[in-house]
C-alpha cells in the first residue's frame, strides 16, 4: 500500500506495518478466504447438509450393487469383501467432498459477466482465490462429514483396518487430490474462452473420470487394459488413491509413491494452467477489443 | 362434455409442446448436444452393466438382458421427467418465490394443470427415444414370447409410474409455499433417481421401502420393468394403481392447501 490520498487511515497504518511481500500477501489472502468460506458455509449449513446427504445416494447405490455380487459369489468380488467395499464407499463420501473444485461451467459466466476483468486487476494469480475459498469451505465440510460417516458405518459395517501411517498419508493425499483436480478443471474450464458450447467436452471428461478414477468402482475391478489406462491418467490420484491410502493397507512404498505422483500431476497442472491461461487471456483481450 | 374435461390437460400439453418446439427449433445445435449427451450417458450405463456382468452372471435373479430392460425403462422415465415434470416444477418453484404465480392463477384454466404442462423441453425426447430403443433391444434379447398383453401391461404400469413421480414432485414443490427456497431438491432427486438403474429389490429392506413409498422409484421404474420381464404380479399392479390414485387425490388437496398459503407478489 503506497500512495493514495493524504489523511486516509490506511496511510497512517502504512508507517507501522511493513510492506507485505509476495509470500505475506498469499498468506493473508489464504487466511482471509478461509475465514470467509468457513463463515459462508456455516451460514448456509442446512442447505449444504442437504447437498451432502444427496451425494450419499450415489456411493450407496454402487455399494449395494457390488456387495450383492460379492455375496452371490460367496463373499468377495475381485478379492474385495462386502466389508472392504463398504469401507471403500464410506471413505468415498469424504473424498468426493474433497474433489469439489470450481465448476467448469462457472467459467462461462465469469467470462460473459466480465468478472474476469476484475480478477485480472488483482495482483495475485486468480487461481489462488478459488483454491483458498474452496479449501476453507472444505474445512467445515470435513467436520460436517463426521456424523454422516458414523451413520454409514453403523448401517453398512465396513471392515476397517487402519494404521497410523495410513491416516497420515490420507490426510495429505486428500489435499493433494484437491489440488490435482483443481488444476485439471481450471485447464478444462478455460475452454470457455474459445467456445460457449464446451458442455460436451466437459461431459466427456466427466465420464472418463467417472470410469477411470475409482469413483464408480474400485479400480481393481476394472479389466486390465482399463487399469493400465488409468495408470497414465491423473484421475486415479484424485479418487481411488486417497481411498486406498486409508483403507487399502498399501505398503509404505506405494503410499509415498502415490503422494509423489500427486505432486507430479500438480506440477504438470500448474504448468498447464500457466500456459493455457497466457494464451486464453490474449484471446480474451482480443475479443474485448 | 365430461370426456372433454378429462382430455383437457392432454390438449393443453399438446399446445404447449408445439410452442416449446417452435421456440427450441431456433436452437438446433442444442439437438446435436442432447444427442451427444444421451449417447455418453447410454455408453456409461452399458459400460457399468458390462463391468457387473464381467464378475457375475446374474444380479439377485436378474439376468443381463433383464437389467438392460431396467436400464431402458430408467432412461425412458428419465426422459419424461426431464421433458415435462422437472422443467415445470422448477419453473413453479421460481414463480412461487418471485410471486409471478399470479399470472397463472388469473387464467381461466385449472391452475394445477397449467403449472404442470406449460414448460416442455423437447430435446429431452432424445432420452425418451434412447430409452425406448434400449427397451426394444433388451426385449428382443430376452427372446421368448412377447405379446400385446404384456405391452399393454407395461404401458399401464409406466403411466401409473409417471403419474406417481409427477405427484411426488408436485408435493415437494408445493412445499415452496412455506419454505420458499427448495432448489436443492432437484439435485437430491437426481441423485436418488440413479438408484432406479437397478431393480429396487436388490436394496436392503429399509431402503426398498423408502424407494417405494418415500421416493417412488419402484413404481416409476422397477414395476414397469417387471411388466416387461414377466415378473409383475396382479397384486403389485393393484398396489401401483391404488398408490397412484391415492397420491393424486392427496396431491390435489395439497396443491389447494398450499395455494391458500400463497399470497402473491402484490398482496
**How much of chain B, in percent, has pLDDT values that exceed 90?**
55
**Range among A223-237, B14-28, B136-150 with highest mean pLDDT value:** A223-237
Contact check, Cβ <8 Å, B184/A217: no
d(CA A212, CA B218): 30
Burial A242-261 (b: 16+ CB within 10 A, else e): bbbbbbbebeeeebeebbeb
Q: What is the Cα–Cα distance from A216 to A242, expressed in whole angstroms?
A: 15
Residues of chain B contacting residue A55, judged by C-beta atoms under 8 Å apart: 191
Whole-angstrom Cα distance, residue A284 to residue A279? 9
Does the distance separating the beta carbons of A58 and B191 come in below 8 Å? yes
Over residues A137-150, the mean pLDDT reads 89
Residue with cell 444427496: A54
The band of A288, judged by pLDDT with boundaries at 50, 70 and 90, is low
How far is the C-alpha of A194 from the C-alpha of A59, rounded, in Å?
35
The 8-class DSSP code of residue A100 comes to -
Residues B26-36, mean pLDDT to the nearest whole number? 86
Which residues on A lie below 8 Å from B33 (Cβ)?
A: 197, 199-200
- Reported in sequence order, the residue ranges of chain A that DSSP labels E, i.e. its strands, are 76-77, 80-81
Q: How far is CA A9 from CA A1, A3, A5, A28, B11, in A?
A: 12, 12, 10, 20, 69
Which distant-in-sequence residues (6+ apart) come within 8 Å of B25 by Cβ?
none
- Yes or no: say if A104 and A203 are a contact pair by the CB < 8 Å rule: no
Q: Which three cell numbers stand for residue A217?
A: 468402482
Q: What is the DSSP letter of A20?
A: P
Mind telling me how many Å the CA of B72 is from chain A's nearest CA? 18
- pLDDT at res. A8: 42
Grid cell for residue A221: 475391478
- For A149, half-sphere exposure in the C-beta direction (CA atoms, 13 angstrom radius) is 17
% of chain A exceeding 70 in pLDDT: 91
The number of beta carbons lying within 10 Å of the beta carbon of residue B3 is 7
Q: Is the pLDDT of residue A161 over 90?
A: no
Q: Report in angstroms the alpha-carbon separations of A223 from A211, A227, A248.
A: 11, 6, 19
C-alpha span between A5 and A160 (Å, rounded): 63
Residue B266 lies in a domain: no
Helix (H) or strand (E) holding A200: helix A199-212
Q: Give contacts of A217 with chain B, Cβ < 8 Å.
A: 51
What sign does the dihedral B192-B195-B197-B199 (CA atoms) show? Answer: negative
Mean local confidence (pLDDT), B45-50: 94
Task: State pLDDT tens for residues A91-120.
Answer: 999 999 999 888 888 888 888 887 888 888
Dist. CA A31–CA A37, nearest whole Å: 10
What is the greatest pairwise CA distance in chain A? 80
* Residue A250 vs residue B144, higher pLDDT: A250
Q: Which of A275, A269, A104 is nearest to A188 (CA)?
A: A104
pLDDT of A208 above 80: yes
B40, B44, B54 member nearest A223 (Cβ) = B54
* Better-predicted residue by pLDDT, A160 or A259: A259
Q: Cα separation of A179 and A173, whole Å?
A: 10
Facing B192 at nearest CB: one of A51, A57, A78: A57
**Across B144-156, average pLDDT:** 88
Q: Is the Cβ–Cβ distance between B231 and B83 less than 8 Å? A: no
Residue pair B139/B66 in contact by the 8 Å Cβ criterion = no
- pLDDT at A2 (0 to 100): 39
| Across A36-50, A64-78, A130-144, least confident range | A36-50
C-alpha cell, B78? 428419465
Mind listing the pLDDT tens digit for each residue in B193-250? 999 999 999 998 988 999 999 999 999 999 999 999 989 999 999 999 999 999 999 9
Instruction: Tell me whether residue B221 is in a domain.
Output: yes
> Is residue B266 helix, strand or coil?
coil
Q: Give CA–CA dist B99/A138, Å, rounded.
A: 35
3-class DSSP state of B62: strand
Q: Which of A45, A46, A69 to mutate to test the interface with B (most CBs of B within 10 A)?
A: A69
Question: Which letter, b or e, does each residue of B212-236 get, where b requires 16 or more Cβ atoms within 10 Å of its Cβ?
Answer: beebbbbbbbbbbbbbbbebbeeeb
What pLDDT digit, counting tens, does each position of A24-67 carry?
A: 777 888 888 888 888 887 877 777 777 777 788 889 999 999 99
Hey, what's the cell of B208?
426398498
Nearest CA in chain B to A64: B203
Count Cβ atoms below 10 Å from residue B244 Cβ, excluding itself: 22
Which residues have C-beta within 8 Å of that of residue B13, sequence separation ≥ 6?
B84, B117, B120
The parent domain of residue B238 ranges over 2-261
pLDDT for residue B261: 81
Residue B267 placed within a domain = no
Examine residue B106 and state whether it is found in any structural domain, yes or no. Answer: yes
Which is higher by pLDDT, B24 or B165? B165
* pLDDT per position as a tens digit, B173-191: 888 778 766 677 787 888 8
Percent of chain B with pLDDT over 70: 95
CA distance to partner chain A, nearest, from residue B188 (Å): 5
Predicted TM-score (pTM) of this structure = 0.85
State the pLDDT confidence band at A195, using cuts at 50, 70 and 90: confident
Which residue among B37, B56, B60 sits closest to A203, beta carbon to beta carbon?
B37
Chain A contact set for B194 (CB, 8 A): 57-58, 61
**pLDDT at residue number B1:** 46
What is the pLDDT at residue A287? 57
From residue A164, alpha-carbon distances to A95, A98, A167, A168, A173 in Å are: 19, 21, 5, 6, 14
pLDDT at A254: 94
Q: Quote the ipTM score.
A: 0.84
Question: How do the domains of chain A map onto residue ranges?
Answer: 20-288
Residues 6+ apart with CB under 8 A from B141: B65, B68
What sign for the dihedral angle of Cα B30, B33, B39, B45? negative
Q: At what angle do helices A252-288 and A164-189 cross, to 10 degrees?
A: 20
> Pick from A54, A65, A217: which is nearest to B198 by CB?
A65
What pLDDT score does B260 carry? 85
pLDDT above 70 for A11 = no
pLDDT for res A17: 45
Rg of chain A over all Cα atoms, to the nearest angstrom? 22
Amino acid at each position: 500500500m503506497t500512495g493514495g490520498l493524504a489523511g486516509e487511515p490506511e496511510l497512517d497504518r502504512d508507517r507501522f506495518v511493513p510492506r507485505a511481500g509476495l509470500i505475506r500477501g498469499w498468506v493473508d489472502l489464504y487466511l482471509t478466504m478461509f475465514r470467509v468460506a468457513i463463515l459462508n458455509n456455516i451460514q448456509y449449513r442446512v442447505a449444504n447438509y442437504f447437498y451432502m446427504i444427496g451425494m450419499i445416494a450415489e456411493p450407496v447405490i454402487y455399494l449395494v450393487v457390488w456387495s450383492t455380487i460379492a455375496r452371490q459369489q460367496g463373499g468377495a468380488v475381485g478379492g474385495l469383501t462386502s466389508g472392504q467395499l463398504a469401507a471403500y464407499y464410506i471413505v468415498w463420501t469424504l473424498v468426493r467432498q474433497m474433489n469439489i473444485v470450481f465448476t467448469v461451467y462457472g467459467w462461462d459466466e465469469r467470462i460473459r459477466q466480465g468478472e474476469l476483468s476484475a480478477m485480472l486487476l488483482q495482483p495475485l494469480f486468480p487461481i489462488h482465490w478459488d483454491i483458498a475459498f474452496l479449501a476453507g469451505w472444505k474445512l467445515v465440510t470435513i467436520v460436517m462429514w463426521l456424523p454422516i460417516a458414523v451413520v454409514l458405518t453403523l448401517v453398512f459395517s465396513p471392515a476397517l483396518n487402519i494404521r497410523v501411517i495410513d491416516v497420515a498419508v490420507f490426510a495429505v493425499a486428500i489435499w493433494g487430490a484437491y489440488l490435482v483436480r483443481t488444476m485439471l478443471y481450471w485447464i478444462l474450464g478455460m475452454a470457455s474462452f474459445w467456445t460457449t458450447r464446451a458442455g460436451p467436452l466437459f461431459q466427456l471428461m466427466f465420464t472418463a473420470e467417472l470410469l477411470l478414477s475409482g469413483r464408480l468402482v474400485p479400480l481393481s475391478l476394472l479389466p486390465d487394459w482399463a487399469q493400465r489406462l488409468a495408470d497414465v491418467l491423473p484421475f486415479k490420484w484424485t479418487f481411488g488413491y486417497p481411498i486406498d491410502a486409508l483403507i487399502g493397507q498399501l505398503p509404505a512404498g506405494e503410499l509415498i509413491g502415490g503422494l509423489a505422483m500427486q505432486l507430479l500431476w500438480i506440477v504438470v497442472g500448474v504448468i498447464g494452467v500457466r500456459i493455457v491461461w497466457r494464451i486464453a487471456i490474449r484471446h480474451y483481450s482480443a475479443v474485448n477489443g | 362434455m365430461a370426456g372433454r374435461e378429462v382430455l383437457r390437460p392432454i390438449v393443453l400439453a399438446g399446445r404447449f409442446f408445439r410452442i416449446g418446439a417452435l421456440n427450441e427449433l431456433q436452437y438446433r445445435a442444442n439437438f446435436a448436444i442432447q444427442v451427444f449427451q444421451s449417447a455418453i450417458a447410454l455408453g456409461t450405463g452399458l459400460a457399468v452393466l458390462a463391468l457387473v456382468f464381467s464378475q457375475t452372471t446374474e444380479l439377485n435373479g436378474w439376468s443381463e438382458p433383464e437389467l438392460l430392460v431396467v436400464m431402458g425403462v430408467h432412461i425412458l422415465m428419465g426422459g419424461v421427467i426431464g421433458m415435462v415434470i422437472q422443467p415445470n416444477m422448477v419453473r413453479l418453484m421460481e414463480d412461487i418465490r418471485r410471486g409471478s404465480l399470479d399470472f397463472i392463477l388469473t387464467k381461466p384454466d385449472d391452475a394445477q394443470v397449467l403449472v404442470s404442462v406449460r414448460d416442455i423441453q423437447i430435446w429431452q425426447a432424445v432420452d425418451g427415444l434412447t430409452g425406448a430403443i434400449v427397451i426394444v433391444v433388451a426385449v428382443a434379447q430376452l427372446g421368448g414370447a412377447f405379446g400385446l398383453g404384456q405391452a399393454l401391461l407395461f404401458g399401464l404400469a409406466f403411466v401409473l409410474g409417471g403419474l406417481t413421480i409427477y405427484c411426488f414432485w408436485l408435493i415437494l414443490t408445493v412445499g415452496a409455499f412455506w419454505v420458499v427456497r427448495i432448489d436443492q431438491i432437484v439435485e437430491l432427486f437426481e441423485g436418488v433417481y440413479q438408484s432406479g438403474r437397478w431393480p429396487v429389490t436388490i436394496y436392503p429392506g429399509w431402503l426398498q421401502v423408502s424407494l417405494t413409498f418415500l421416493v417412488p422409484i419402484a413404481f416409476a421404474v422397477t414395476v414397469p420393468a417387471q411388466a416387461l420381464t414377466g415378473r409383475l404380479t396382479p397384486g403389485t399392479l393393484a398396489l401401483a394403481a391404488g398408490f397412484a390414485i391415492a397420491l393424486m387425490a392427496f396431491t390435489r388437496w395439497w396443491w389447494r392447501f398450499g395455494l391458500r398459503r400463497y399470497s402473491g407478489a402484490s398482496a
